[in-house]
Amino acid sequence: MLSDELKTQIRQSFESAKKTMPGFVMRHAQNKMIAEISKTLVGEYSNSNPILCVEAPTGTGKTMAYLLSAIPIAKANKHKLIVSSANVALQEQLLNKDIPEVQKYCSVNFEYALVKGRSRYVCIRNLVNLAEDNAQENPLFDNSTLWDTPPGKYQLDQLSEMLQNYSDKKWNGEIDDLDQTPDHSVWPKVACNRFTCTAKSCEFYNDCAFFKARKKITKADVIVANHDLILADLNTGNTVLPDVEESIFIFDEAHHLSSKALSHFSLSAGTEFIKTSTRQTQGISEQVCKITKQDSP
């Protein structure tokens, strides 16, 4: 049941927008949407899943409706509100326009953050190993298993510059915030990935770009994501986003979900991935053989 307090908070938010937001016009479809979202999220419809599908024409004010109604309910229930977009353009609109606008009128205070996939962040351990050529200190790994061909000066300079800028706090470790996009052969070698990440066991954990960003997400009330990231995270057991049971999801442009879900829950591998994996496996096997022979009496 929608409590009187929540009703008042939602009503006050829209009254504030109506009075002070330039060009704001209340629409019947928007009012209906607010009511249905609120009833669904608090479980007023018995014997049904708390799922609502809304279709409305452009100009209805859908974004304002779902944000101003869902945020108070999410906070009251100590849930995270995860707003997912289908594309980068809509994501940027949410971050740079819609959510900051909603903050002006929302009757409850809230913080928001953008969540990105793990591969958008640099792995400091890998970057240090490659930039400073430290990989040979561990006999199981050396740089020859990572490169198709020996890296050139341009690639090594890029690695050194990234490491220096990160050490000097001039770069936050996100590929999107680099002044220059790295060479196509460089970033895959230094990007975070869940298969090689050792999390708290890593010596660079406290300085890890990915886990720093994740800490910010835990403090946010509203998390902006995209369909691809959410589906990928579900497929890997919630390694990036908050637990599903503690979240409320809003999928803007949800009609894209079906095709994206088919893509994420199927498996494929390109020839380049297979070649790289085979080469790395062979390199590690050779190193293991060397160690075994050295240890033999």
Asked whether residue 100 falls in the same domain as residue 230, the answer is yes
Q: How far apart are CA 250 and CA 224, in angstroms?
A: 10
pLDDT at 139: 45
- Find out whether 25 and 65 touch, Cβ atoms under 8 Å: no
* Phi, psi of 162, deg, nearest 5: -60, -45
Asked whether residue 139 falls in the same domain as residue 81, the answer is no
Give the CA distances from residue 221 to residues 3, 33, 67, 153, in Å, rounded to whole numbers and listed in that order.
Answer: 20, 22, 12, 45
Q: How far apart are CA 199 and CA 181, in angstroms?
A: 26
Asked whether residue 236 falls in the same domain as residue 102, the answer is yes
Q: Where are the beta strands (DSSP E) in the chain?
A: 80-85, 112-114, 222-226, 247-251
Q: What's at 142, amino acid-wise?
A: D
Asked whether residue 178 falls in the same domain as residue 54, the answer is no
Q: Is the pTM of this model over 0.95?
A: no
- Is 258 domain-assigned? yes
Asked whether residue 103 falls in the same domain as residue 228, the answer is yes
- Is 157 domain-assigned? yes
59 burial level (CB within 10 Å; 0-12, 13-18, 19+):
exposed
Query: What's the alpha-carbon Rg for the chain, to the nearest Å?
Result: 24
Domain encompassing residue 190:
118-210
Stretches where the chain sits below pLDDT 50 are 134-141
Asked whether residue 55 falls in the same domain as residue 187, the answer is no
- Is 183 domain-assigned? yes
Asked whether residue 103 falls in the same domain as residue 35, the answer is yes
Counting the structural domains of the chain, the total is 2
- Is 285 domain-assigned? no
Indicate which CATH number applies to the domain containing 51. Answer: 3.40.50.300
pLDDT tens per residue, range 111-170: 999 999 899 999 999 999 888 764 444 444 455 556 666 778 888 899 999 999 999 999
